[in-house]
């Protein structure tokens, strides 16, 4: 019965990769329209249960796919992601298309411009299938804080997909899109990637333009890729990375060349397992990292343990810094220029009533926390102190990288939890990000690669961290973790009877593996 819950049943192993789809479309062996329709069929079957999307852009996507096909027919190259269906987290601005941040306060808003990452995707020939659900303004770890209802984990719909980019993670895991973009402020790409069994990466701060990403905490936010393979994630990174004059924190660094790094292997690389991030996680999360580390050692890497002492203060520092920045960033939602307005007698009452009506509980909580941490008498004790601790964390990671090329840790303390399990206890929910937060504070790149032993009902993630701008080594290690991960082979053989029943309900020509059997057999 292990196959019932193992990777064979859960992974979308039979689907073509995004890289393969683009190649097929560019060479004319498949049409972008046909690829899109296959994905839309899967959306039609499973989306009512999963709710990955706030908005499916079927007609717009068809027009984009037809334009890609027309380009191919005319002998032009539509770009490296030609005809690849992508899903966009709904905090990325899309010109003329509602961008809600899953908040009522942005009701009706249609941005007058595309985010830079979105423009780059379009220029690369990708086809946007829809805008995905998130925790309101990206504040949360389960996608339950959405004004439009939660997203469910495609591997077990009684469980959360993680968050805040839960819709993007679920869309890729369910086969609604081959790729997706998310944003990661404290783990909001990596944590849902781990919980949904897909690859997710947070680039070095500044490598991907934040222009058009609705701001949560500006010194921590980064846009990054979701994909089913490390190579696909690298291909998407290559498209979205690069300097942008519209973002004053955009790095001048040239866009990294990642896909060639995937071939290099890990022989001779020094990899450190971070002791502090192994403490306190569930046994299976620690075991996943140990198994991955052993496998990498077998491939020639030199693996050791490394202490990053200040990492233990990451969570506390983050939950002062991020709310402080959020309270400032979210001051703009005042009912004047866009979105919701609640009428009131004077402007101050209009501000307060609009914000009370438009923001959900978690957003209010963080605005309150941040405003408190920044208020007179507490600024230095909380916000200033958290910023100094941030310096300590950066120093300790710098020290660790003197002895190691990349670091390993669990992505999350455990697998996906049941819906509702943590909604009443904000601190318990915040703990979901304990392993991912340090990389946002330091600005270093970090990625989650699925690790799903056959005896586990749900996927986990192995996290790979590298020094700032160390994307190439990070993807190298990520590719090796992927290659060493418990066998994805025997996908069909591992499909359990229950999976067969579900697969049979898929439309002919649909991608059966996109409908993974419910873990635990239902």
Active-site residue, from 188, 327, 432, 439 = 188
The Cβ-side half-sphere exposure at 94, using a 13 Å CA radius, reads 24
127-132, strands of its sheet edge to edge: 53-56, 127-132, 85-89, 179-184, 222-227, 199-202, 446-451, 460-465, 406-410, 270-274, 302-306
The answer to whether 131 is a known catalytic residue is no
For residues 384 and 521, which CB has a smaller minimum distance to another protein in the complex? Answer: 384
For residues 173 and 330, which CB has a smaller minimum distance to another protein in the complex? Answer: 330
Active-site residue, from 31, 89, 422, 515 = 89
- What's the farthest any 2 CA atoms get from each other in the chain? 70
For residues 176 and 382, which CB has a smaller minimum distance to another protein in the complex? Answer: 382
The answer to whether 257 is a known catalytic residue is no
For residues 62 and 243, which CB has a smaller minimum distance to another protein in the complex? Answer: 243
Q: Are strands 446-451 and 199-202 parallel, antiparallel or unpaired?
A: antiparallel
What are the beta bridge partners of residue 222?
184
Q: How far is CA 316 from CA 28, 148, 322, 327, 385, in A?
A: 53, 29, 10, 17, 11
- Residue 455 burial (10 A CB sphere; 0-12, 13-18, 19+): exposed
Q: What 3-state DSSP class applies to 409?
A: strand
CA distance 507 to 388: 56
Q: What 3-state DSSP class applies to 3?
A: helix
How far apart are CB 259 and another protein at their closest, in Å? 25
Phi, psi of 496 (to 5 degrees): -80, 165
How far apart are CB 321 and another protein at their closest, in Å? 9
How far apart are CB 422 and another protein at their closest, in Å? 13
For residues 75 and 245, which CB has a smaller minimum distance to another protein in the complex? Answer: 245
User: CB within 8 A of 205, min separation 6: which ones?
Assistant: 219, 220, 222, 249, 440, 443, 468
CB atoms within 10 A of CB 112: 9
Active-site residue, from 103, 141, 142, 164 = 164
How far apart are CB 201 and another protein at their closest, in Å? 17
How far apart are CB 349 and another protein at their closest, in Å? 8
CA distance 169 to 183: 11
For residues 303 and 367, which CB has a smaller minimum distance to another protein in the complex? Answer: 367
How far apart are CB 91 and another protein at their closest, in Å? 17
For residues 269 and 320, which CB has a smaller minimum distance to another protein in the complex? Answer: 320
The answer to whether 146 is a known catalytic residue is no
How far apart are CB 448 and another protein at their closest, in Å? 20
CA 135 to chain centre: 12
For residues 60 and 353, which CB has a smaller minimum distance to another protein in the complex? Answer: 353
- Helix (H) / strand (E) containing 406: strand 406-410
How far apart are CB 445 and another protein at their closest, in Å? 11
What are the beta bridge partners of residue 408?
273, 464
End-to-end CA distance of the chain: 13
Which tokens sit at 334?
Answer: 């005042």
User: Which residue numbers are catalytic?
Assistant: 89, 164, 188
């Amino acid at each position: 019965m292990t196959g019932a819950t193992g990777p064979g049943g859960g992974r979308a192993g039979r689907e073509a990769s995004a890289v393969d789809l683009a190649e097929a479309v560019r060479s004319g062996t498949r049409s972008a329209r046909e690829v899109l329709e296959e994905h839309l069929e899967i959306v039609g079957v499973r989306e009512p249960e999963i709710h990955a999307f706030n908005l499916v852009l079927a007609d717009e996507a068809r027009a984009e796919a037809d334009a890609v096909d027309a380009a191919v027919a005319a002998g032009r190259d539509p770009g490296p992601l030609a005809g690849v269906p992508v899903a966009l987290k709904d905090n990325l601005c899309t010109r003329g298309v509602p961008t809600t941040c899953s908040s009522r306060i942005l009701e009706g808003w249609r941005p007058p411009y595309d985010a830079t990452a979105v423009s780059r995707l379009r220029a690369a020939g990708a086809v946007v299938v829809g805008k995905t659900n998130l925790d309101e303004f990206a504040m949360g770890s389960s996608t339950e804080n959405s004004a439009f209802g939660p997203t469910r984990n495609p591997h077990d719909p009684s469980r959360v997909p993680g968050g805040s980019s839960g819709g993007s993670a679920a869309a890729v895991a369910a086969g609604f899109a081959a790729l997706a973009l998310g944003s990661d402020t404290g783990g909001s790409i990596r944590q849902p990637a781990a919980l949904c069994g897909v690859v997710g990466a947070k680039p070095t701060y500044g490598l991907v333009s934040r222009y058009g990403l609705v701001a949560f905490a500006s010194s921590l936010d980064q846009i990054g890729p979701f994909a089913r393979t490390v190579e696909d994630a690298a291909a998407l990174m290559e498209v979205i990375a690069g300097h942008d004059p519209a973002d004053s924190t955009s790095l001048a660094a040239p866009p990294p060349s990642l896909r060639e790094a995937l071939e290099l292997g890990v022989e001779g690389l020094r990899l450190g397992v971070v002791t502090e991030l192994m403490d306190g996680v569930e046994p299976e999360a620690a075991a996943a990292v140990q198994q991955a580390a052993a496998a990498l050692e077998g491939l020639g890497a030199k693996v050791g343990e490394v202490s990053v002492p200040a990492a233990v203060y990451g969570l506390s520092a983050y939950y002062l810094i991020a709310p402080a920045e959020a309270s400032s960033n979210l001051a703009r939602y005042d009912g004047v220029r866009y979105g919701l307005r609640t009428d009131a007698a004077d402007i101050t009452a209009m501000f307060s009533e609009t914000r009370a009506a438009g923001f959900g509980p978690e957003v209010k909580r963080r605005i309150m926390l941040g405003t408190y941490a920044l208020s007179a008498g507490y600024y230095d004790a909380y916000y200033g102190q958290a910023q100094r601790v941030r310096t300590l964390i950066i120093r300790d990671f710098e020290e660790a990288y003197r002895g190691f090329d990349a670091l390993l840790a669990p992505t999350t303390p455990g697998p996906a939890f049941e819906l509702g399990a943590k909604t009443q206890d904000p601190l318990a929910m915040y703990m979901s990000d304990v392993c991912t937060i340090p990389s946002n504070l330091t600005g270093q790149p970090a990625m989650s690669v699925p690790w799903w032993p056959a005896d586990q009902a749900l996927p986990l993630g192995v996290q790979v961290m590298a020094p700032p701008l160390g994307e190439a080594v990070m993807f190298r290690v990520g590719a090796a973790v992927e290659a060493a991960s418990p066998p994805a082979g025997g996908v069909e053989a591992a499909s359990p009877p229950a999976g067969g029943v579900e697969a049979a309900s898929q439309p002919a020509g649909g991608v059966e593996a996109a409908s993974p059997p419910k873990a635990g057999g239902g």
